[in-house]
């Protein structure tokens, strides 16, 4: 609230009135200013469109029959760039009002007949202002919640990143592995035409897919020789451990299928759940291909990196058994025709 001229208390709401009759503009100017509204009057409907485009108004009161264009045409233009403006339509006679379908289509919130008395119009305006006030409050709450959520997400991401770096610090040979898997997975997702949301989940899921290795003893992770059956069983627990770590925060829920199931096999002989075919979450199937490719083309404590031609042959051979055939074909196409992108990623995360 603020005090305006003549000690009238302004309620802070801005109203624009559009009518090609100056007398109507003058009458509504006195009426609305006395009621505390910040008033703007326009007699040219084309000018009104430009004013709304360049200034903020909370509510518009609009005559229907005008020249050079009618009120519904004004609204048609305004709705192309402003979906939120609250609009009340004035008609000289109810028989001249636009069809109900037009009012609904253009999201005109109400209309009333012109009158020397403004009681009905005032009720519509007050009702509109209450609705506007509620919408503003909801927008404010949503912005505050969004800000809180983003800060919470950032905090969780930083915490999990610290864990990820701890895992990679254990083993020099795995350093950069999760970054490469993340980017390879996104390349495959783009090749398959996935949505931005899926690409985001692939990117973050790839970064955290091995987070569960924080729970695997160093003696097993760093063992240079062949693992015993018991040691291999310990390694196979890392997807479940990782999913458990991330499940403590709801923001990571979309990543859980990737983290938990990136070691499932298409033939059902993977772990931890022995899922098969399309029962394996789709993003996990993509990450599995990216993960295996990076494992084969990276130096490990027990072997050197494998030759690229050998890797491609192995991936072709494992289609339908270890890997989803469609996803494998998409990645092989990248390897055969866009290998420069793979090289860029490998050089970036040496």
Structure tokens that stand for 247 in this block? 């499940």
97-128 burial, b at 16+ Cβ within 10 Å, e below that, comes to bbeeeebeebebbbbbebeeebeebeebbeeb
Provide φ and ψ at 126, rounded to 5°: -60, -40
Contacts of 167 (CB under 8 A, 6+ apart): 174, 210, 211, 213, 214
Catalytic residue among 139, 191, 213, 236: 213
As a whole number of angstroms, the distance between CA 116 and CA 104 comes to 27
d(CA 292, CA 271): 14
Residue 304 CB neighbour total at 10 angstroms: 8
Active site annotation includes 213: yes
Decide: 89 and 108 in contact? Cβ < 8 Å: yes
Name the one residue in this structure whose structure tokens are 């097993």: 220
Q: Count how many residues are written for the chain.
A: 350
CA distance 205 to 283: 9
Across-strand partners of 335? none
Residue 194: its H or E element = none
Residue 178, CB-side half-sphere exposure with 13 Å CA sphere: 24
Q: Which strands form 38-42's sheet, in the order they lie side by side?
A: 38-42, 14-18, 59-63, 86-91, 110-113
The Cα 180–Cα 88 span in angstroms is: 57
DSSP state of 166: H
Could you please report the per-residue DSSP string of 294-334? HHHTS-BTTBPPPPHHHHHHHHHHTBTTTB-HHHHHHHHHH
- Which residue numbers are catalytic? 213
């Amino acid at each position: 609230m603020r005090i305006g001229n003549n000690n009238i208390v302004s309620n802070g709401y801005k109203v624009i009135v559009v009518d090609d009759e100056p007398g109507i503009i003058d009458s509504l100017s006195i009426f609305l200013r006395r009621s505390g509204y910040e008033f703007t009057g326009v007699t040219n409907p084309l000018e009104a469109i430009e004013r709304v485009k360049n200034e903020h108004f909370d509510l518009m009161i609009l005559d229907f029959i005008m020249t050079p264009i009618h009120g519904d045409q004004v609204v048609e233009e305004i709705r192309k760039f402003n979906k939120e403006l609250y609009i009340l339509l004035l008609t000289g006679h109810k028989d001249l009002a636009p069809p109900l379908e037009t009012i609904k289509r253009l999201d005109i919130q109400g209309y009333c007949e012109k009158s020397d008395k403004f009681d009905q119009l005032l009720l519509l305006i007050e009702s509109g202002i209450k609705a506007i006030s509620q919408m503003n409050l909801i927008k404010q709450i949503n912005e505050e919640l969004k800000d809180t959520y983003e800060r919470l997400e950032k905090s969780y991401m930083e915490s999990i990143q610290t864990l990820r770096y701890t895992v990679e610090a254990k083993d020099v040979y795995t350093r950069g592995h999760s970054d490469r898997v993340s980017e390879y997975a996104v390349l495959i997702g783009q090749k398959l035409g996935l949505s931005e949301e899926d690409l985001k989940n692939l990117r973050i899921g790839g970064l955290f897919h091995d987070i569960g290795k924080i729970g695997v003893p160093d003696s097993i992770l760093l063992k240079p020789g062949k693992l015993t059956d018991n040691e291999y069983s310990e390694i196979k627990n890392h997807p479940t451990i990782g999913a458990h770590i991330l499940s403590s925060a709801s923001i990571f829920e979309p990543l859980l299928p990737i983290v938990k199931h990136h070691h499932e096999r298409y033939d059902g002989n993977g772990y931890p759940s022995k899922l098969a075919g399309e029962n394996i979450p789709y993003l996990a199937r993509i990450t599995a291909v990216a993960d295996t490719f990076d494992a084969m083309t990276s130096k490990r404590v027990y072997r050197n990196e494998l030759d690229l031609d050998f890797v491609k042959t192995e991936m072709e051979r494992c289609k339908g058994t270890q890997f989803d055939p469609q996803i494998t074909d998409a990645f092989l196409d990248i390897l055969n025709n866009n290998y420069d992108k793979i090289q860029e990623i490998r050089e970036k995360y040496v």
